[in-house]
Amino acid sequence: MDRLDNTIRPYAWGSPTAIPHLLGVEPTGEPQAEMWMGAHPGAPSRTARGSLVEVIDANPRAELGEEAVAKFGPRLPFLLKILAAGAPLSLQVHPNLEQAKEGYADEEHRGIPVDAPHRNYKDANHKPELICALTEFDGLCGFRDPVQAADLLAGLGVDSLKPYVDLLHAHPEAAALREVLTAILSADPEEMARTVAEATAAATRLGGDYAPYADIAHHYPGDPGVIAAMLLNHVRLQPGEALFLGAGIPHAYLNGLGVEIMANSDNVLRCGLTPKHVDVPELLRIVRFEASDPGVLRPEASPDGEEVYETPIDEFRLSRYVLPEGTAAHDLTLGTPQILLCTAGSVRAGDHDLGPGQSVFVPAGEKAEVSGAGTIFRATVIA
């Protein structure tokens, strides 16, 4: 197996302290948002044999296994991250596989450069995600019941929000949510900025259920995404709890440290809380306008101690082992590729000693024994 040397991405919303604290190093003073583990071409992990992209390209079947190559092609189909949100990320949705293929082909046909700021589809893949909290973790996930959203907006006492409140009481539910989100994102920018300012003052004064939205507005003053965010469920994960984010589900991470895994894609449609391009017509085509429970996941334990976060897709499978002091070594050998990530304690994986934030890549079929006292996450695929 290969020890991984991983890139940390310094996005502006990142916490300057959470990842350094996990790694046991001094903060640099700059935001450290994500540490990437995998073979994403933008920042592949490095090994003693070269980048993980180079390692896999040299012999895909040996590294990934015959079944994974047959199902996903000669590439690692997931990207594993440690994510540290110190400020809210953009409010966003991801396309399903068919939408991604169509959108990518259309933009390629129209000759839109892949790095153009108004480009929506960077590739032809979908991007389901799973976030597992390492600390208390706040996020937004899926639409509230429209009547509950109406009550939340009405409670602010802002006159310019009344039309949205009335729309949310209309039927059917999907049409009500679509009309309100469309109205918010299409509103006159100056009028919306005034509405957001009034709503922010009221949310700050009221606190309680309004506190997360007041904090969002502090980071994104005047942004229509502040009002759009109030249509969504606020969820607070405790360590070990997770959220699965499927296609078309609007979401945003707000604060906290977690392990994230996703299909290897860069396709994002933004709804707000960002200075980046918001393509309203395409966004409305992708969003699933239905109220839903956030669906907090807790791992299901198997007899051998593996705790699995069950999801409905095959590009990734995330589980963890919490190893008490003195337990026997666990044999994690699989016929599919794995990344093993230590998040607490001290774990030995093969010949490698891993501390928090350290990881290894295990080629398909290679012997993988772990021991020690700590927590290790296992990322693989279902082939």
Query: Tell me: the pLDDT tens digits for 101-131?
Result: 999 999 999 999 999 999 999 999 999 999 9
- Which stretch of 155-169, 290-304, 364-378 has the lowest confidence by average pLDDT? 290-304
pLDDT band at 371 (very low <50, low <70, confident <90, very high): very high
Condensed to tens digits (0 to 9), the pLDDT of residues 10-68 reads: 999 999 999 999 999 999 999 999 999 999 999 999 999 999 999 999 999 999 999 99
Looking at residue 304, its pLDDT comes to: 86
pLDDT band at 380 (very low <50, low <70, confident <90, very high): very high
Residue 303 has pLDDT above 90, yes or no: no
- Distance in angstroms (rounded) separating the CA atoms of residues 17 and 347: 23
Nearest to 36, CA basis, from 55, 49, 52: 52
Average pLDDT, the chain: 95
pLDDT band at 277 (very low <50, low <70, confident <90, very high): confident
Amino acid at 250: P
Looking at residue 327, its pLDDT comes to: 78
| Mean pLDDT within 289-315 | 93
Condensed to tens digits (0 to 9), the pLDDT of residues 233-255 reads: 999 999 999 999 999 999 999 99
pLDDT band at 368 (very low <50, low <70, confident <90, very high): very high
Assign 286 to helix, strand or coil: helix
| Mean pLDDT within 290-316 | 93
Looking at residue 127, its pLDDT comes to: 95
pLDDT band at 171 (very low <50, low <70, confident <90, very high): confident
Residue 5 has pLDDT above 90, yes or no: yes
Looking at residue 348, its pLDDT comes to: 95
| Mean pLDDT within 130-152 | 97
Residue 308 has pLDDT above 80, yes or no: yes
Looking at residue 181, its pLDDT comes to: 96
Burial (Cβ within 10 Å: 0-12, 13-18, ≥19) of residue 62: middle
- What pTM was computed for the model? 0.94
Condensed to tens digits (0 to 9), the pLDDT of residues 318-348 reads: 999 999 987 788 999 999 999 999 999 999 9
Residue 262 has pLDDT above 90, yes or no: yes
Looking at residue 136, its pLDDT comes to: 98
Beta bridge partners of 258: 83, 133
- Distance in angstroms (rounded) separating the CA atoms of residues 49 and 72: 23
Catalytic residue among 144, 270, 317, 320: 270
194 is known as an active-site residue: no
Tokens of residue 176, six digits: 């009500």
Nearest to 270, CA basis, from 179, 181, 180: 181
Looking at residue 297, its pLDDT comes to: 96
Residue 175 has pLDDT above 90, yes or no: yes
| Mean pLDDT within 163-178 | 94
In order, the DSSP letters of 54-121 are: HHHHH-HHHHH-HHHHHHH-SS--EEEEEEEESSPPPEEE---HHHHHHHHHHHHHTT--TT-TT---
Looking at residue 258, its pLDDT comes to: 98
Amino acid at 176: A
